[in-house]
Structure 1
Amino acid sequence: MRRFDYSFLGNGLLPANLANLTAGIASLKTMAGIRKEEYIRVFTELEAIAKIQSVKSSNAIEGIVTSDERIAAIVNQNSAPLNHNEAEIAGYRDALNAIHLGYEHIHFRQSDILRLHEMLLSVAGHEHGGRYKTVDNVILEVDASGNRKVRFSPTPAAETEAAMEQLELAYLEADSDAGINPLLLSPCVILDFLCIHPFRDGNGRMSRLLSLLLLYKSGYDVGKYVSFEEQINNRKAFYYEALRRSSEGWHTNGNTYFPFIENFLSTLYMCYKELDKRFAVVHGKRITKKARIEATVLNSLTPLSKTEICKILPDVSPTTVEAVLGAMVKDGTIRRIGAGRASRYIKA
């Protein structure tokens, strides 16, 4: 059976790119903490938006989709699910809410993992929710011609419970080691979870829920305000390539965790950078929506469209963005490039 050992994380031999990433994340995390205390209302609005984006993106990665309007209605509990896909989406909403509201009391242990899995699948009525797989599963890869091949064979069903027990114990041991950075430990544990692939269904979505759980418990809660799952979905080709590289030789303990760690940390870093963009304003200035729109355009090195500004500031309405841009063009602080829907704005 695979042996789980994270002691290598404490030997200080971290590649330079990962050291730089962790330092960058730490700096942005500090700034986010200061802003959260100062701008509670803005963070509350961002949390509501990010929750919808997280539910949408994590399910979309698995091909579970519905309209944006329906996702918002389900996440905000304004409507019951109308079909199977929407029931799956509602299950993710419930598990995500549980982590958002009670991550301090949820731990990376089998009982809690099984409970989250049951929550994930319960709305859709799956009988295997909260139970490990009873039949061996494989991860398939489909080429451009539609031909399938086995990309990875996870832990056999008969060994799954024992493997999950060893994973839990290895995590607990590493988590109690002051010499191991939890930011590096989390992606290693998630990779091993994915390689065990303990469930008949929902492994990918569970891996993203558990990623958030481990990050929140380590003090990295940016995923509440900028969707971690959306960042993965936006660059899922890089995610799957990192997963492939780090899973090679996994069964014989011959794999390297570093590609997956780098992708995980890069995703987290992009979340913090996105959050930072939404506060692109001189520190100390009252952070009105108008000030944030102005600073977003004035601090950009490239022309931005109204759509791009709305994406950077999702809690600000398009009408407000349009009004501020019009006033800025009129007073000469920015100039408009193009016309109509092709319009972009840059500092004059």
Structure 2
Amino acid sequence: MGLQADTLEITPEILSLIAEIDEFKGAWRALGTLAPERLSALRRVATIESIGSSTRIEGAKLSDKEVEQLLTNIEIRKFDTRDEQEVAGYAQVMETVFANFDAIELTENHIKQLHRDLLAHSAKDERHRGEYKTNTNHVSAFDEEGKEIGVVFETATPFDTPRLMSELIQWTSAALDTAKLHPLLVIGIFTVVFLEIHPFQDGNGRLSRILTTLLLLRAGYVYVPYSSLESIVENSKEGYYLALRQTQRTIRSPKPNWQPWTVYFLRALQQQKQRLQKKIERERIVMDTLPELSLQILEAVKDRGHITIGEIVKITGANRNTIKKHLAALVAANHIVQHGIGKGTWYSQGDPQR
């Protein structure tokens, strides 16, 4: 087996980062006791951020707002631009992973199926969906306008790709089974080597982030759908490419330098969990300080899906003007969304504050 993972030096910083992430993993059972609709809203925000960020890292230009609008009409099934095609494919594969991660083992067949689905809406990629590359490719960095600003590193040849992928999957599965190396370190090494191989003609960056999420979920880090790792990568693109380059150029040498990528990867996971921690704490504070009538209104919206002021008056028996004040405060705090004005006004569940 070509991977020399034993050259990874487990420094105090690496140990500290792993301990912090694992502590949050253990605490999630208690932290994740928000009402189901609030957790669902947190996941929706994180999913939109993840899709937008992961496609923009690869040169797409759709904003999170545009991604959200596209996902609202996902049943259209026809997407005019390549950016829209990429967003639609990414969204559907993420939902597949979230819903079925327990059943999706790390195999070449599953990786190829996820790649096929990722590019399902892209006519340009029809010939090589779900198949390893037949032409050489390289990794490029893109600026905010989506223009290529340079080659980051060379990748494996098409001839070597099947063998290297088979070796990587065997090594990863064995390392996770034997538990000689912490699963976060195994997942980090898998990701950086997958990107070094770059096994498919296109979609490798997006697929690497989906596979990272899959492996984290399978390793018990079940909070990951509620906080976007992809947006953290997008916000630190320079560090991301630097860490990749520093580690990847050594992978096939006798002494690979896993340190740069491992530290970057663990710090990104640390930021992911810190963001989620803050969101949960903010939700808790808000819910603990809401007046009783506001809580009643939220409960009524949750039960019915949408509600009018007249219906709230009947349920609570409260004064109409008082209800309007509470509704205005709940809308301002993103707990509910107002639809329409005047007599036709109604309210539905909202997204949590970011």
Q: Give TM-score scaled by structure 2 length.
A: 0.75
The aligned length equals: 291
CA distance, structure 2, for counterparts of residue 231 and residue 47 of structure 1: 16
Residue 132 (str. 1) matches residue 145 (str. 2): no
Inter-CA distance 202–286: structure 2 relative to 1 (3 Å threshold): closer
Going from structure 1 to structure 2, the CA distance change for 1:62 and 1:45 (only over 3 Å counts) comes to same
For 2:70, the equivalent position in structure 1 comes to 74
Calculate percent identity across the aligned residue pairs: 27
Inter-partner Cα distance in structure 2 for 1:63 and 1:71: 14
User: Is the contact between residue 49 and residue 231 of structure 2 (CA under 8 Å) also seen in structure 1?
Assistant: yes
Q: 2:47 aligns with which of 37, 47, 51?
A: 51
Q: What is the rounded CA distance, in whole Å, between the counterparts of 2:282 and 2:149 in structure 1? A: 50
Deviation digits for residues 28-57 of structure 1, max 9, x if unmatched? Answer: 222222121454332111011111111111
Question: Secondary structure of the equivalent of 1:249?
Answer: coil
How far does residue 223 in structure 1 lie from its aligned partner after superposition? 2.4
Q: Corresponding residue for 1:247? A: 248
Question: 1:220 matched to which residue of 2?
Answer: 221
Q: 1:195 to 1:287 in 2, by over 3 A?
A: same
> Which residue in the other structure is 1:319 paired with?
332
Alignment of 1:267-282 (within 5 A): 267-280=268-281
**Map 1:255-334 → 2, pairs under 5 A:** 255-280=256-281, 287-288=287-288, 290=290, 319-320=332-333
Change (3 A) 1:163 1:47: same
Which stretches in structure 2 are left out of the alignment for 5+ residues? 292-328, 336-354
Which residue of 9, 19, 23 corresponds with 2:15?
Answer: 19
Shift of 1:88: 1.3
Question: Which residue of structure 2 lines up, in the alignment, with residue 30 of structure 1?
Answer: 26
The separation in 1 between residues aligned to 2:155 and 2:187, in whole angstroms, is 20
Aligned AA (1:179):
K
Residue 240 of structure 1 deviates from its aligned partner by 1.0
Q: Which residue of 2 aligns with 1:184?
A: 185
2: CA distance, partners of 1:149 / 1:87: 25
The residue that corresponds to 2:3 in the other structure is 4
Query: Do the aligned residues in 1 keep the contact of 2:138 with 2:155 (CA within 8 Å)?
Result: yes
Quick check: 1:248–1:254 contact (8 Å CA) kept in 2? no
CA 1:84–1:258 in structure 2 vs 1: closer, same or farther (change >3 Å)?
same
1:317 and 1:185 mapped to 2: Cα distance?
44
Counterpart amino acid of residue 48 in structure 1: R
- Identify the match of residue 97 of structure 2 among 99, 102, 108: 99
Cα offset for 1:247? 1.2
TM-score, length basis structure 1: 0.76
CA distance in 2, matches of 1:254, 1:317: 57
Given the alignment, which residue of 120, 123, 128 partners 1:122? 120
Query: 1:32 touches 1:276 (CA, 8 Å); kept in 2?
Result: no
Q: Aligned AA for 1:58?
A: S
- CA–CA distance in structure 1, aligned partners of residues 218 and 269 of structure 2: 15
Q: Cα distance, 1:203 vs. partner?
A: 0.8
